[in-house]
Amino acid sequence: MHYVRPLGAAQQDVLRHTAIRAVVARLARSEPPLVPEVVHYMLDTDAQMWSVRRSKANWFRLVGCLSRVATAARWVHRGCARGQTHNNGFSARAIGDDGGMAGAGTADNACLYVVGLDELDEELDGVPSGRTAEVVRARYERLRALAGRAQALLGDVAAQGERMEALVGWRDPRASGIFMACCLAAAVVLYAVPLRALLLGWGFFYLRHPRFRGDMPATAFNFFRRLPSMADRIL
């Protein structure tokens, strides 16, 4: 049902808080009873709010996922740089030309960028701020809301990288075995079937009639979403 008729963000928030109140009421009657603050902390009810601790944890998760990719990229770059030293002059010239054109485009885009009066006043305000406490408090709350969204996005990206590491690192042997078998089958198909035929078949499948489309997500997407990540270990 949550795939066919997905709940909105407000409905999910109401459902989450209702479940939290039910858990708090149940654990308050247990022996020994738990205070609501402990339950809220363990259930991580403020996951969407800005937290320096949670942001640092998500950042280090993302850095850990990208460290192997960066190492492989540096290795490939060193291998390619050995045979392309004679093209450095041409590359520098091309980069300079692109930079000049990009600078001209940036000036045009800056003229078209329009901001609100409050945003412009906040940008021109010095440090420390010379505005009233109410204005500073409103700006701080707005900054916390924006930072919470960025923090959630950073955590989602880190979770996808951790799922990919779990897939290739044999953290889940069954999932990794299925992935290796699918890679082997894909290699055989790519070797036996021409690329044009594959692209044509994929195009027909992607543009199929809505009658032949399902409301459920793809099997591969559902399989990837069920892989383990480190998101549940951040408290």
Q: Are 158 and 164 in contact (CB under 8 A)?
A: no
* Burial profile 171-187: b = 16 or more Cβ within 10 angstroms, e = fewer: ebeebbeebeeeeeeee
What pLDDT, in 10s, does the model give residues 58-90? 778 888 878 877 887 888 878 776 655 544 444
- Residue ranges in the chain assigned as alpha helix (H): 9-28, 36-43, 52-81, 88-112, 117-124, 133-168, 173-192, 195-206, 219-225
Choose between 234 and 133: higher pLDDT. Answer: 133
pLDDT at 48 over 70: no
**What percent of the chain is modeled with pLDDT above 70?**
78
What pLDDT, in 10s, does the model give residues 132-161? 888 888 888 888 887 877 888 888 888 888
Rounded-to-integer distance, Cα 101 and Cα 86, Å: 25
What pLDDT, in 10s, does the model give residues 206-231? 888 888 887 777 888 888 888 888 77
pLDDT at 104 over 50: no
pLDDT at 15 over 80: yes
Going 58 to 64 to 68 to 70, the CA torsion angle's sign is: positive
8-state DSSP, 156: H
The amino acid that residue 37 corresponds to is E
Q: Are 141 and 147 in contact (CB under 8 A)?
A: no
Q: Are 40 and 20 in contact (CB under 8 A)?
A: yes
- Virtual CA dihedral for 187, 191, 197, 201, nearest 10 degrees? -20
Rounded-to-integer distance, Cα 171 and Cα 157, Å: 19
The amino acid that residue 20 corresponds to is I
Return contacts of 217-226, CB within 8 angstroms, 24+ apart: 217/3, 223/175, 223/178, 224/163, 224/167, 225/163
Identify which of 107-116, 137-146, 179-188 has the greatest average pLDDT: 179-188
The amino acid that residue 44 corresponds to is D
Q: Are 41 and 57 in contact (CB under 8 A)?
A: no
Rounded-to-integer distance, Cα 26 and Cα 217, Å: 35
* Burial profile 207-219: b = 16 or more Cβ within 10 angstroms, e = fewer: eeeeeeeeeeeee
